[in-house]
Structure 1
Amino acid sequence: MQFVVLKGHQGGYQLTLKQNGAFTAIIAELSELFVKLSREQSSQDDTKIVGFKIDTEKRLLTDQEKRQIQDLIEQYPQFKVEQIESDVITKAAAQILKEQDSIHMSRLVIRSGQEVQVDGDVLFIGAVHRGGILRATGSVYVVGKIEGVVHAGFPDRDDAIVVGDLSQAIQVRIADTVDILADSDQAFTPRSITYINDLHLLDYGNLDDLKTIRPKLYNKIGEA
């Protein structure tokens, strides 16, 4: 076959659809291939369902093309599509990744009753009043004033951190972990780090300890 490459792996098969082939030609080759595979499976009297992982290289299939491939393969009850993946992503997905990998600067004043969410990491130089919530999908670096709630790693990134002075904050959250600070004796400075420790509890440290607390983040941003 010219445009479809079949390789076995543990528990199933890997199908590579060559990016230089016309989609109609690929469908034709897949049709021929699965007729053959179905016959072989029937002759072995094997009732096990075989899964296929499909790699489209640098071709990004439309939803309709994916559905066409799935429908073709699933004509045979003994076969199923486990996943379809490619080496490229959509522009929309790339933009999301870019935003999540960037540090956004925010000068916002978040008042009581307001909630602001940022995708990715945020350098916050504004103010969060009591009753306001600053939420980020990544880490939060506080230079401004926090009197309300700061929530990093929303909704489930427990590797996120909060850096900065939270001495006036009511509450800090990382992922699904919360600490009430209003009555806390925890001392904060501009170099304080709030993070989730190995026991999945909120813990506190100093920016000097970042290499130990979050070595991957330390290597990414360099010595603080």
Structure 2
Amino acid sequence: MKIALIGYGKMGQAIEQIATAKGHEIVLRIGIENLEDFTLENVARADVAIEFTSPHSAVHNIRKCIDAGVAVVSGSTGWLQHWNDVKDYVTYKEGALIYASNFSIGVNLFFELNSFLAELMSKHENYHVALEETHHTQKRDAPSGTAITLAEQVMQKIKTKKVWVNHISDNEEELEIISERIDPAPGTHKIKYSSAIDDIEIIHTAHNRQGFASGAVMAAEFLCGKKGIFTMKDVLNL
């Protein structure tokens, strides 16, 4: 498989290491120092593009790869207000896209656990639920895309929570997400249910970027040769 890396920071380099170890070829590496090389002709050399950039450039990057006829695995977060437009564009162009707020296999299993626990806890109104997430100081968005996904899962099951907020709140309709940025911290997410009697919490802690990178390569392998829009649930058959 030939891969274009759109975003060649620490995550892109971790993806390259895993992809090449599995026998894949990196045919294009795009970072801030060589944006002029991000052309349709260059992207078209790849079978799949793996895109990890910023909220401000993700939509443009995805569209450009789709225009080049290349499937896209996107792990950029903070741009989902444009999701419907991107989804319609990919469908119109008969392209292929996987977006995930987190490609880690462990995190995607954690998503399933979070949804199941929220359903159980929805029957017990004496528990207060809140989220916490901790990342390194270079993390540009807060809360993290993973935290937002977790919060949305909770709100799907616990109907008293109407909206998530990124601060401490005493409004019972608001679901708190508390964000911290400290170094070094690849990523920790916690969902805590508290009552006067006891606490129940689930935690996922990433030790490094390898889990994210491995999942992104797995997603690219799954997407290669396909058309349509998929999720990590499809990749992992969850």
Alignment TM-score, normalising by the size of structure 2: 0.27
More strand by share: 1
Structure number with greater CO (CA < 8 Å, separation at least 6) is 2
Alignment TM-score, normalising by the size of structure 1: 0.28
